[in-house]
Chains A and B, each alone.
Chain A
Amino acid sequence: MFQNTKCECGHQNPVGTVLCESCGKPLDEKLLKDQDAPLEMRYDGVARRSQKANPHFVDRIWNFFSSVKIAVYLIVITLIGATFGTIFPQESTLINLTERSEFAAFYKEEHGTAGVVYHALGLSRTYESWWFIGLLVMIGTSLVVCSLDRVLPLYRALNKQQIRKHLQFINRQMVTYAGTVSGDGKDWAERFGKELKRKRYRVYQENGALLAEKNRFSRWGPYINHIGLIVFLLAVLGRSIPAWHMDQYLALYEGETRQIPGTNYFVKSVDFTIDYYSDEELASNQKGKLVAKLYETKAVLYECTDACDDPTRDPVLTEVKSHDIRVNSALTYKGLSLYQNSYQERVRFISVHPTLTDSETGQAIGSFDLKMDRPDEEYRVGRYTLKLNDYYPDFGLDEQTRPMTKTREPNNPAFVFRVTGPDVQEKGEIFIYFPMPSEKSKYYEQILNESFKTRGDSTGRFSLKVENPIVDGKMNNIEFSEYTTFLNIRMDKAMPYIWVGAAISMIGLVMGFYWQHRRIWLRIDDGKLSLGGHTNKNSFGLRADVAWALGKVGTEVDPKSLDNRGNVR
């Protein structure tokens, strides 16, 4: 299609130009038809980059994403898509479920048929779904393309503005004024310009024509905002780089030290404390309830400096940081953060101080410290040696009712000792010891010791027992943990970029929304004054400026009368 894009002022415009780049005369056929309608001033009427005469295949993709209409569609579809994810809880919030079948069962049980459909459609993972991420990527693409498509031509247009504009351009602005000027037009324009300068306009003049402009920088606000959003979206994508991101949970009982998996760090929960509000502090509908006031884990972070991967030796740990971890106060060290996630009241022994008794003589031989987790291989008590034969941190029985450990956590530890020493049979005496005073473990202890006896491994001579376990209502000879704290260990190397993106975006928004680009053109032809003004936002403020400046040079007008939009709506 052939299109003549040369303006009557002699300027050669690119295809797609709405208003002549030089004099501002309307070129678009639609705008020429209705001579009185206000002009379409978007992007100053320049051709966008995508408006080419013969679009190529790549250009077509570019054109698709360069459309604001498409961008709005993408936003609206994303918005509607996001609502789906809030109908029922997302799978990611159900932290104690892992298997697909478990999730399916959860939705079926909790939400019935609707839940089954919800899960089957994949809406239980809306925000990880291919279509949702696809939409976000498309929005990101649209941000880049839309911005590039407009910002460069707009920059060029605003950078080489003509002062004298075509009459049609001036008279079809949203703010207009027409009048007569007695005397020298140049002189009048000079005075008018001076007044506008006081309103911090930049004023350019040329033979009785005037251009006043202020706050042009606000035009770049949207593009800066878009750059910030792109940085933000890229940073979000960056979080999927495995080395950039770590997210794991660690359960620690009081006094426990544990390695943070995948790192060289160890963390110890020295103590966990919780405080509740007293009844006087609570509102009447809360009285009698336990409302937490403060809970915190006194934690110490260690770095392993030697023997870290050596299974035969204990790692050498150096303390690097200690901190009281609270909900709003994490321990942070070199990009690694430990957050208080939750806690559980679960009594667990850390160590006991049992006494070895000879049941034949009824005499106490001696006592020693027995750690529940990672006990020593050998203990010397009096003249006897206790060798640890077997250790079950979390005692249980397997299908053939053989002893086994259910987990590696010392939830209910059992110790099998072989005692050797004076007047003990050659192969020693074997017995099992359960420190936890529960009925079940005491029952197992009895049965298993009976079986050692029948096998001839034991005569039942030795036994271990904590003496005076309770003194004055407090545990004695027993060190125990009351709470298990759950820490969330995080590393997120993308975070700085997220905040930078957000900050850039904010700067752009403030620039774009709290300042407005205002321009006023006027020309005086044989004492006939034509004035036009344009702003992308707040025409109210522009009208006030124009009326104020006109008033200062002796022409009183009502700001409202400058409105050229015709109230057609």
Chain B
Amino acid sequence: MKWWLDFSNDAFIVAFFLYIASFICYAIAIAGKRWSNRKPEDHTARWGKIAFGLAIAGWAAHLAFFFTRWHGAGHIPTSNMYEFMTFLGMAIMLAYIIVHLIYRKVVVGAFTLPLVIIIIAYASVFPSEVQPLIPPLQSIWLKIHVTMAAAGEAFFAVGFAAALVQLIRVVDFGRTDKAGRRAQFWTEFSLFVIIVLIGFIVSVFSFRGAGYEAVFTQETVTIDETGAEHSQVKEVKYSLPPIVAPYNSETVSFQSFVGLKEPLFEAPSWLNGVNAGRKLNTIIWSVISGFVLYGILRLIARKKLTAAIHPHLSDIDPDDLEEISYRAIAIGFPIFTLGALIFAMIWAQIAWSRFWGWDPKEVWALITWLFYSAYLHLRLSRGWQGTRSAWLAVIGFLVVMFTLVGVNLVIAGLHSYAGAE
């Protein structure tokens, strides 16, 4: 069994680097069109082919990772956050391959690949060890519900990537009026949010590689029915240098980090959980490293990032991008309905005796579904096609990500076993 799991981990790393290689080739295909001694169309076609081939190879390695892990663990690897996020990355690649085979637009790959890379890198932040299944997860519906839901969400992800290209494509940097500046700002902001996510991943892995750790304890006193006092001491480990300590906590150990010898401040009282402080600290670190990364990229580009990408997109028709985005969402919507709602209801009926219980995860799946229903209806109306529906596709994917990750980190509920530590 161990051999299979080791092989699986190797395959994952191979997939990761193949995806990066594929992304680089996509970037060359798009950015290198005007290099000397070549015809732009030939250049794009050639590098696009190489990039797609690498993406396929990466996906094959990803599949190998998935199936060997399944074999080694004895159950489908979709049962915790690490497994689910890697599976989502794999599903997005499948959705991308399908959309690519229909439309063959190199630029969609250039934006989908980095998304997949970020998602599987993010997956690696979570503990990757195989965990045995707890009784509620021992069901065939773990295979059916989770994979179908992820497949639907994967198409929304491709829709998001195409919509983002479309937005960058149509931004008019010549405009100085209010609406024009607003469009410029928000498009740039979307990229910034992605960079903050990269900043989060980079900081987690840097400090993990350096073996950083700080420990706090928090004592909570509760009074039970009989009036007896119970005090409970909870411990929390920080893997990022604590800028914020948990509310009402004691420092147990603290490795100093470039002059930071103690937390700068304590979490406010409304974030009183022992883990709330750690999460706030992580967010602060992500934003800081996001700003640093963004600053570096801005220095290299010497203009807004969207403005740097924009000229390379001039030969793509925004109508085509909009159609790709809409089509991806239209393909994903029935799959999402089936996987994330209907199959979820069937499983909930089998395991929890009720098909619907307003659990936060259920509610957010419904919210996602309602959001995309609104998108699909609005797109029928004149005036909502084009940039507006592209923005909806972008926001829709944010809702998807909140449902998948945010609910587990912030709200939890019955699906808490799928969450982080």
Q: Please indicate the chain B residues that have their CB under 8 angstroms from the CB of A509 in the complex.
A: 333-334, 337
- Count of A residues near B, CB < 8 Å? 64
Binds A, one of B184-192, B227-235, B353-361: B353-361
Known: A86-B363, A291-B134. A283 touches B358 (CB 8 A): no
Contacting pair B353 A567 (CB below 8 A): no
Complex Cα gap A379–B102 (Å): 84
Residues of chain B contacted by A326 (CB below 8 angstroms): 135
**Are B334 and A42 closer than 8 Å at their CB atoms?**
no
Q: How far is the CB of B348 from chain A (nearest CB, A)?
A: 11
Q: Do B352 and A75 touch (CB < 8 A)?
A: no
Q: Among B129, B320, B326, B334, which residue has the most Cβ atoms of chain A within 10 A?
A: B334
Known contacts A68-B380, A78-B370, A281-B132; is-contact A538 B327 (Cβ 8 Å): yes
The majority secondary structure among interface residues of chain B is helix
Please determine whether B358 and A85 come into contact, CB atoms closer than 8 angstroms.
yes
B70 at the interface (CB under 8 A from A): no
A556 CA to B348 CA, complexed, in Å: 56
B370 A75 Cβ-Cβ under 8 A: yes
Give the one of B135, B322, B342 with max A CB within 10 A: B135
B350 at the interface (CB under 8 A from A): yes
B323: Cβ under 8 A from any A Cβ:
yes
Residues of A contacting B351 in the complex (Cβ-Cβ under 8 angstroms): 327-328
Residues of B within 8 Å of A488, CB to CB, are: 353
When each residue 321-336 of chain A gets 1 if its CB lies under 8 Å from chain B and 0 otherwise, what string results?
0000011111000000
Hey, which chain A residues are within 8 Å of B270, CB to CB? 112, 114
> A291–B374 Cα gap in the complex (Å)?
42
Q: In the bound complex, do residue B136 and residue A328 qualify as a contact, i.e. CB atoms below 8 Å apart?
A: yes
Q: How large is the interface on B (under 10, 10 to 19, 20 to 34, 35 or more residues)?
A: 35 or more
Whether B374 pairs with A76 at a CB distance below 8 angstroms is yes
Once the chains bind, are A502 and B334 in contact (CB under 8 Å)? no
Cβ A563 vs Cβ B337 within 8 A: no
Chain B: minimal CB distance from A219 (Å): 13
B381 proximal to A (CB < 8 A): yes
Residues of B within 8 A of A329 (CB): 350
B345 at interface, CB cutoff 8 A:
yes
Interface flag for A406 (CB, 8 Å): no
Q: Are A72 and B139 in contact (CB under 8 A)?
A: no
**Which of B50-58, B107-115, B240-248, B382-390 is the contact stretch?**
B382-390
Shortest beta-carbon distance from B18 to chain A in Å = 28
* Residues of the B chain whose Cβ atoms lie less than 8 Å from the Cβ of A339: 352-353
Q: Which residues of B contact A200 (CB under 8 A)?
A: none
Measured between alpha carbons, how far is A294 from B134 in the docked complex, in Å?
Answer: 8
Residues in chain B near residue A337, CB distance under 8 A? 353
Distance of A502 Cα from B337 Cα, bound (Å): 9
Neighbour of B360 across the interface among A71, A76, A86, A295, CB < 8 A = A86
> Does B255 interact with chain A (Cβ within 8 Å)?
no
Instruction: Kindly provide the distance from the CB of A283 to the nearest chain B CB, expressed in whole angstroms.
Output: 4
CB closest residue in chain A, given B131: A283
Nearest chain B CB to A67's CB is how many angstroms away?
Answer: 10
A92 to B354, CA, bound (A): 13
User: Which B80-104 residues sit within 8 Å CB-CB of chain A?
Assistant: 102-103
Q: Determine if B130 is an interface residue (Cβ-Cβ < 8 Å).
A: yes
Q: In the complex, which of the residues A72, A83, A495 contacts B377, with contact meaning CB atoms closer than 8 Å?
A: A72
**Distance of B362 from chain A, by nearest CB (Å):** 10
Asked if B367 is an interface residue, CB under 8 A from chain A, the answer is: yes
Q: How far is the CB of A301 from chain B (nearest CB, A)?
A: 16
A86 is contacted by which of B127, B411, B421 (Cβ under 8 Å)?
A: B411
Q: Are B352 and A90 closer than 8 Å at their CB atoms?
A: no
Q: A79-B370, A283-B130, A285-B421 are in contact. Are A513 and B330 (CB under 8 A)?
A: yes
Task: Check A328–B135 contact: CB distance below 8 A.
Answer: yes
Tell me the nearest residue of chain B to A286, going by C-beta: B131
Complex CA distance for A112 and B247, rounded to whole angstroms: 15
| A565: nearest chain-B partner, CB-CB | B319
Contact call B349/A567, Cβ cutoff below 8 A: no
**Residue pair A506, B342 in contact (C-beta under 8 Å):** yes
**Chain B residues whose CB sits within 8 angstroms of the CB of A82 once the complex forms:** 363, 366-367, 370
Question: A114 — nearest CB in chain B belongs to which residue?
Answer: B270
Question: Contact at A569–B319, with CB atoms within 8 Å?
Answer: yes
The minimal Cβ–Cβ distance linking B144 to chain A, given in whole angstroms, is: 13
Q: Which residues of B contact A79 (CB under 8 A)?
A: 367, 370-371, 374
- Which A residues touch B130, using CB under 8 A? 283
Question: In the docked arrangement, what's the CA distance between A18 and B298, Å?
Answer: 51
Q: Which residue of B lies closest to A489 (CB)?
A: B353
What is the CA–CA distance of A342 and B272 in the complex, to the nearest angstrom?
29
Residues of A within 8 A of B387 (CB): 569
Q: How far is the CA of A75 from the CA of B342 in the complex (A)?
A: 19
Chain B residues with Cβ below 8 Å from A565 are 319
Tell me if A258 is interfacial: C-beta within 8 Å of chain B.
Answer: no
| A537 at interface by CB-CB < 8 Å | yes
Partner of B334, one of A69, A93, A284, A506: A506
Query: Does B14 sit within 8 A of A, measured CB to CB?
Result: no
Flag if B364 contacts A86 (CB, 8 Å).
yes
Give the distance to chain B from A246, nearest Cβ to Cβ, in Å.
Answer: 11
Contact check, A282 vs B135: say whether CB atoms are below 8 A apart: no
Contacts of B411 in A (CB 8 A): 86
* A82 CA / B358 CA spacing, docked (Å): 9
A162 partner residues in chain B, CB cutoff 8 A? none
With contact pairs A68-B381, A114-B270, A540-B323 given, residues A283 and B127 touching in the complex (Cβ less than 8 Å): yes
Residues of chain B touching chain A, judged by Cβ–Cβ distance below 8 Å, are: 102-103, 127, 129-132, 134-136, 138-139, 141, 170, 269-270, 317-320, 322-323, 326-327, 330-331, 333-334, 337-338, 341-342, 345-346, 349-355, 357-360, 363-364, 366-367, 370-371, 373-374, 377-378, 380-382, 385-387, 407, 411, 413, 421
User: Would you list 29 pairs from A and B whose C-beta atoms are within 8 A, ordered by A residue?
Assistant: A68-B377, A71-B377, A72-B377, A75-B373, A75-B374, A76-B370, A76-B374, A78-B370, A82-B370, A83-B363, A85-B363, A247-B354, A285-B127, A285-B129, A285-B421, A292-B134, A293-B132, A294-B135, A328-B138, A330-B353, A339-B352, A499-B346, A502-B342, A505-B337, A509-B333, A513-B330, A537-B330, A540-B327, A569-B385
Q: 17 new A-B pairs (CB below 8 Å) besides A90-B358, A293-B132?
A: A40-B382, A71-B377, A75-B374, A79-B370, A86-B364, A92-B358, A283-B131, A291-B132, A327-B135, A328-B136, A328-B350, A502-B342, A509-B334, A537-B330, A540-B102, A569-B170, A569-B387
